[in-house]
Amino acid sequence: MEDDAPVIYGLEFQARALTSQTAESDAIRFLVGTQSLKFDNQIHIIDFDDENNIISKSVLLHQAGEIWHISASPADKAVLSTCYNKTSESRVVTCGAVWSMPPEWESGSHESPDDPHNSHNPQNLELLCHLDNSAHGNASSVLWEPMGDGKRVISLADNHALLWDLTESSTQATISSSATLEGKGQLKFTSGKWSPHHNCTQLATANDTAIRGWDLRTMSQIYCIENAHGQLVRDLDFNPNKQYYLASCGDDCKVKFWDVRNINEPVKSLEEHSHWVWSVRYNHSHDQLVLTGSSDSRVILSNMVSISSEPFGHLVDDDDLSDGEDNHQDEKSKEPLQDSIISTYEEHEDSVYAVEWSSADPWLFASLSYDGRLVINRVPRALKYHILL
């Protein structure tokens, strides 16, 4: 049972921003934002044909500036948000904005990936609204309300977390509430995550070495994990199935798993990367699968069975039990489940700043390195069957 070889796609520009198209549940589709100071930046829409192992891409122009962060609306396939650098009068400002893809992008500018320089005449993104507030400084990321109707976003700007309401088909954005991080020195949110649990009323943010939880109803802090990592915390992700579980990664090369009810000690800590870990993602369906990307140019897929919502393997439905009971029990008794590294992917040659699971296929993920290389990989089949059966 050979696993399929990874599929590699190269961008012309350097890139850091990657997201899967959250609202798309059929096609495997990723969005990549480029970073170039001299040319018009682009958003590459990467479609992956799983059966034929073929990548097809579309390019949309993002002329506002180089993209540092990208995220897609959970409700509308065509809507996305970016954080981008705007250079004006020898000042560099990072802004947030909500965009809409032009309706005909899919049919119009569909290109073969084999023809890399054929990006002439790409279409522009259509600006819906700016998430702009000059009083609140540089935006580091924009977060959509998970599983929401695409009407609410949070932007993290320097030391502020701003909750926006999008109205008028997202063309109007108004700040409904905000929270400010206060303390000594220049505090700045490095990243954040909107919790899908508790009716989407919680937010987790990272600044320096601390992780903080916020209640969005009161915009007040719920918990604070000081010194969650030895150095800067780079990324966070919520366990999609266990409401109190949170994964974090940072410059101390570690990935830590927290139960936010007990913030003194991490539940689990991994130290597999040999440099900073920039990104951590739980699989949306099988939360034992955790993906991490690091500036040691590696992507690591771990199987954290012991702290997953399925610590004893996949729960079998009653119907299945009636006919296959014995088999399952045998299987469980002879295979003790242990946390392990499933695989280390070394296709990248530069730092990997972003990894993302596909929202359509839970067994597929993409990783993006700084040199513009996007690699699409699959969970090894053996493991997939092990989890499923």
Partner 1 sequence: MYIRSSRRVHGMLKLYYGLNEEGKTVDQAESMNPCDINGTHFDPEVYLNKLRRECSLGELMDQESCMVKQIRSLDSDMQTLVYENYNKFISATDTIRKMKNDFKKMEDEMDCLSTNMAAITEFSAHISGTLQDQHAQITKLSGVHTLLRKLQFLFELPARLNKCLELQAYSQAVSSHRRARCVLQQYSHMPSFRGIQDDCHAIMDKLAQELRQKFRDGGSSAEDLSECVELLLQLDEPAEELCDKFLSHAQSRLEANLRGLEAETDILEFIDRGCNEFVSSLCLVIASYQELFVNRPQEGNLASKDIPHMAIGKLHAFVDALATCYFSLVERRIQEEKSVGDNSLLVRALDRFHRRLQAVAKLLPGSAVPSQGTEIVVRAARERIKQYLAALQSFYLDSLRDVRQALAAPRLGGSSAGELLSSLSASILNQIKSVLASVHLFTAKDITFSNKPYFKGEFCSQGVRESLVVNFIKFVCQSSRQFCESAGDRGGSTPPALLLLLSRLCLDYETSTITYILTLTDEQFLVQHHSPVTAVAALCGEARGAAQKLLNHYVKVQGLIISQMLRKSVETRDWVNTIEPRNVRAVMKRVVEDTTSIDVQVGLLYEEGVRKAHSSDSSKRTFSVYSGSRQQTRYAPSYAPSAPMDTNLLSNIHKLFSERIDIFSPVEFNKVSVLTGIIKISLKTFLECVRLRTFGRYGLQQIQVDCNYLQMYLWRFVSDENLVHFLLDEIVGSTAHRCLDPAPMEQSVIEVICERG
Q: Which residue has the tokens 């599983």?
A: 147
With CB under 8 A as the contact rule, the residue among 145, 208, 237, 252 that binds partner 1 is: 252
CB of 276 to partner 1, least distance (A): 7
HSE toward the beta carbon, residue 11, CA cutoff 13 A: 30
With CB under 8 A as the contact rule, the residue among 71, 279, 351, 358 that binds partner 1 is: 351
With CB under 8 A as the contact rule, the residue among 231, 243, 309, 343 that binds partner 1 is: 231
Q: Please, which residue, 87 or 327, has the CB nearer to partner 1?
A: 87
265 touches partner 1 by CB under 8 A: no
With CB under 8 A as the contact rule, the residue among 3, 6, 12, 244 that binds partner 1 is: 12
103 touches partner 1 by CB under 8 A: no
Q: Please, which residue, 42 or 297, has the CB nearer to partner 1?
A: 297
**Residues in contact with partner 1, shown as a per-residue x/- string from 302 to 341 under the rule CB under 8 A:** ----------------------------------------
Q: Please, which residue, 15 or 173, has the CB nearer to partner 1?
A: 15
Angle at 280 between CA 129 and CA 343, to 5 degrees: 135
63 touches partner 1 by CB under 8 A: no
Q: Contact, 375 vs 366, CB < 8 A?
A: yes
- CA Rg value for the chain: 21
Judged on CB neighbours under 10 Å (0-12, 13-18, 19+), 151 is middle
Q: Which residue has the tokens 């000081």?
A: 226
Count other Cβ atoms within 10 Å, centred on residue 278.
23
274 touches partner 1 by CB under 8 A: yes
With CB under 8 A as the contact rule, the residue among 77, 197, 275, 314 that binds partner 1 is: 275
Task: Return d(Cα 338, Cα 257) in angstroms, integer.
Answer: 16
The one-character DSSP state at 134 is G
Report the candidate in 89, 34, 104 with the shortest Cα–Cα distance to residue 64.
34
Judged on CB neighbours under 10 Å (0-12, 13-18, 19+), 185 is exposed
CB of 257 to partner 1, least distance (A): 15
227 touches partner 1 by CB under 8 A: yes
Give residues in contact with partner 1 (CB under 8 A). Answer: 8, 10, 12-14, 37-38, 85, 87, 90-92, 116, 227, 229-231, 252-253, 274-276, 295-297, 346, 349-351, 370-373
